[in-house]
Structure 1
Amino acid sequence: MDKLYLENIEIFAYHGVFQEEKTLGQKFIISLELTLDMREAAITGDLTKSVHYGELCHKIEEEFKKESYDLIETAVEKIAEYILFNYDMVKCAKVMLKKPWAPIGRHLDYAAVEIERAWHKCYISIGSNIGDKNRNIEESINRIRNIKEIRVSKVSTLIETAPWGIEDQDEFVNGAIEISTTLSPKELMRTLLKIEAEMKRERLLRWGPRIIDLDVVLYDDLISSDEEIILPHPRMEERIFVLEPLNEIAPYMLHPIKNKRVFELLSELKG
């Protein structure tokens, strides 16, 4: 993927923990590294197929001076968010913020922080077997759509499946969605759990009835053993109710541990 660089943009602003910093202001220096596909712009000469970096410089300055933050960590996070949420073609933004006049009582060239934020492709499995199941799933997807850090790009059709784990319960309706998100895996999982709680899901029995079930099954090609979110989702390859909707919207996605495509996992499970 191509890169666009903007180095050492000087902006006078009013960020800092101390009141003097907020009153008197000081100089900040911002550098950007943006990841995007610029091939079409290069071939056609069409600026709309790239990022207008002159415009971006002015927009960043406006955004940077809009509020006063105690921490430069917060200020740099806001810059990255602004770029990713307002420039659709930018897939990743690396932002460095230098503070050359940092009031520490010692000589230094600058204090600085650097962060990298990006859009990540993820797949979420959705299920319900209480009440109006289709409506529950539709509501959960709408709640996900309303989160600014998430963009829903694909939604599978819904299928009815037999319960898994505990058979003595109502049939499930299941589906899957593809999203892009700037949330980390843990942040995404916490967001989905919050939606489940808002929809009154009760965790009384493992594999028991549920009004809504939201699981992150794939997050890029990440492999994680974190207790809060295990990736890829454990046993997804054993569950038709996960693989069938996923196969509809992402048949060629690769399971990063099994090293097999979704359609291959489904075929083996059915075979």
Structure 2
Amino acid sequence: MTDRIRLEQMNFYGYHGALPEENRLGQRFTADVTLAVDLYQASVTDSLGQTINYAAVYKMVREIIEGPPCALIETVAGRIADRILSAFARVSSCRVRITKPDPPIPGSTGQVSVEVERQRVIAYLGLGSNIEDRKSYLNRALGMLDALRLTRVVRCSSIYETAPVGPVRQSDFLNMVVGIETVLPAEVLLEELQNIEKTLKRKREIHWGPRTIDLDLLVYGNRQLNTERLSLPHPEISRRAFVLVPFMEIAPHLVIPGIGRSVLELRQMLNEKEGVSVWKKNNGEGKYGLFGS
């Protein structure tokens, strides 16, 4: 069962809209916000610290609706959801409805509304590097992941050294798996991962070739997807020891969507037993437990 907090029929006056008169004259807006949050501790302790401050949520909504104008109420709703999730770690998902009670549509006497929902998802990424200062590339990639909007690194495996896969002669890799908490949709997260690779000079000139950094989206919550651009879960998970070994360290009992087996089971089923060894143990020192001095 999911507990929810609802703030309904909040009325404000703002200047959002695609038409010049909407920006000049303004209009009424109604906001409804639904928050999914575990309220068990609040119910047994009667403590404000165990729930969400409704007044603070109201203030955030008001500041955005009465603030700088947007052309679309879709943008207004998205900004409110993002702001609330950034402010309250207890909120697992946020649904926002923005309504124009008097839309500027000729002959219309009804209303127009837009509803968006954002939720926190745990995703797992595979990181690899085998060019120049491999540890530095991993560290920089972790920092950039942690700095992504509405995203934070929550778990890191140890770093493993692995022999390269494929026909290309190249140096050994450093590999690791990290868990992140994010509000970004899977497709947007993929774009951000590719932007990080580009910033860190990743080149795709040779298939299976050497790289400064490789970021693979392995699992995104329970989502299953198979498009030309993105497959979830990653189709090679069950065949890669350099993924399963570090993955097993941080999420051994995670059942991979669509496969129906845990990371531990997949590792035990894999014939490949050699070629992956600990290079630096995650001992809890430093920001990610890996790069302390």
TM-score range, shorter chain: over 0.9
Q: CA contact under 8 A between 2:81 and 2:95: conserved in structure 1?
A: yes
> 1:269 is matched with which residue?
270
> 1:191 is matched with which residue?
192
TM-score, L = length of structure 2: 0.90
SS at 1:165's partner residue? coil
Q: What is the Cα deviation at residue 227 of structure 1?
A: 1.4
Distance (whole Å) between structure 1 residues aligned to residue 187 and residue 166 of structure 2: 26
Q: CA contact under 8 A between 2:13 and 2:65: conserved in structure 1?
A: no
Alignment of 1:100-179 (within 5 A): 100-166=101-167, 168-179=169-180
Q: What is the Cα deviation at residue 48 of structure 1?
A: 1.2
Q: CA contact under 8 A between 2:150 and 2:183: conserved in structure 1?
A: yes
Q: CA contact under 8 A between 2:14 and 2:67: conserved in structure 1?
A: no
Q: What is the Cα deviation at residue 58 of structure 1?
A: 2.1
Q: What is the Cα deviation at residue 264 of structure 1?
A: 1.0
Q: CA contact under 8 A between 2:162 and 2:242: conserved in structure 1?
A: yes
Q: Kindly provide the amino acid, as one letter, of the partner of residue 61 in structure 2.
A: I
> 1:238 is matched with which residue?
239
Please list every run of 5 or more consecutive structure 1 residues that lacks an aligned counterpart in the other structure.
Answer: none
Deviations 1:191-231 (A, max 9, x none): 10111111111101111111100000000011100111101
Q: Kindly provide the amino acid, as one letter, of the partner of residue 170 in structure 2.
A: Q
Alignment of 1:1-271 (within 5 A): 1-166=2-167, 168-270=169-271
SS at 1:33's partner residue? strand
Distance (whole Å) between structure 2 residues aligned to residue 28 and residue 258 of structure 1: 46
Distance (whole Å) between structure 2 residues aligned to residue 185 and residue 126 of structure 1: 17
Q: What is the Cα deviation at residue 108 of structure 1?
A: 2.5
Q: What is the Cα deviation at residue 65 of structure 1?
A: 1.8
Q: Which one is further off, 103-112 or 36-45?
A: 103-112
Q: What is the Cα deviation at residue 167 of structure 1?
A: 5.5
Q: Which one is further off, 238-247 or 59-68?
A: 59-68
TM-score, L = length of structure 1: 0.97
Q: What is the Cα deviation at residue 61 of structure 1?
A: 0.4
Q: Which runs of 4 or more aligned residues in structure 1 lie more than 4 Å from their structure 2 counterparts after TM superposition?
A: none
- The percent identity for this pair of structures is 34
Distance (whole Å) between structure 1 residues aligned to residue 167 and residue 224 of structure 2: 28
Distance (whole Å) between structure 2 residues aligned to residue 193 and residue 85 of structure 1: 24
Q: Which one is further off, 86-95 or 52-61?
A: 52-61
Q: Kindly provide the amino acid, as one letter, of the partner of residue 150 in structure 1.
A: T
Q: What is the Cα deviation at residue 55 of structure 1?
A: 2.6
Q: CA contact under 8 A between 2:60 and 2:80: conserved in structure 1?
A: no
SS at 1:259's partner residue? coil
Please list every run of 5 or more consecutive structure 2 residues that lacks an aligned counterpart in the other structure.
Answer: 274-293
CA RMSD of aligned residues (A): 1.2
SS at 1:91's partner residue? strand
Q: Which one is further off, 120-129 or 4-13?
A: 4-13
Q: CA contact under 8 A between 2:154 and 2:181: conserved in structure 1?
A: yes
